[in-house]
Amino acid sequence: MRKKAVLVVGAGGLGAPAIIALAASGRFTLGLADPERVELSNLARQIIYGTRQVGQFKVEAAARYARETLGFRDVRPMNIALNAANAPELVAQYDFVIDATDDPAVKFLINDVCLAMGRPFCYGGVLGFRGQAMTIVGGETACLRCLFEFPPDQDEVATCREAGIVGSVAGLVGFVQAKEALYCLRGLRPRLAGKLFAYDGAGRRAIRILPVQRREGCACASACSASEDVRAGA
């Protein structure tokens, strides 16, 4: 029997704190997928990197941090961008997926492939002082498309990226995502299954947990019903 395994897609603002929390918390396989290199502008919020890592691939620098600083050995860095061609085979190797990417198209890809492969995953997003996370369990909970039917257009994406994120908010959301993965690996139901964790660092009520209902007509219903057939052919 193979060890349990978690895949973190994205080793940036969300991925870095998730990697720290996961690598400090148990024995399992940790997969990291990200095609980007460390940039100087990353250092303010992606705390596992320093000036010596600038120019290195994020996944390789993150893997060294996990091994050398946290003593976590079974980490698999993959300098790749998740896409429609490689996602099914990659996701099939893991028991839980953490969406730590800032690319909306990849978030929806993770959603669709995880539903098809029968893998739970935790969506995460940060904008300014606000962050959110939700765990999707195929066949049981609402999915990302129940919240947002389609990815935003490129103008919206550009506006969001210009607004930036606050490092501490990304740290909180990444930690929450890691906790959801650990619940699942331990055979427990994730606390945010079908619930949206919403954080507003500038609001009167910082944290809210909101139930999310499955949207009538969402494609996740048919994807979930077909997941057994897809896994059988994987």
- 42-59: pLDDT as tens digits: 998 898 999 999 999 999
For domain 5-233, which architecture applies? 3-Layer(aba) Sandwich (3.40)
3-class SS letters over the chain = CCCCEEEEECCCCCHHHHHHHHHCCCCCEEEEECCCECCHHHCCCCCCCCHHHCCCEHHHHHHHHHHHHCCCCCEEEECCCCCCCCHHHHHCCCCEEEECCCCHHHHHHHHHHHHHHCCCEEEEEEEECEEEEEEECCCCCCCHHHHCCCCCCHHHHHHHHHHCECHHHHHHHHHHHHHHHHHHHCCCCCCCECEEEEEECCCCCCEEEEECCCCCCCCHHHHHHCHHHHHHHC
pLDDT tens digits, one per residue of 107-142: 999 999 999 999 999 999 998 899 999 999 998 999
Taking residues 153-170, what's their average pLDDT?
64
Q: Where are the domains of the chain?
A: 5-233
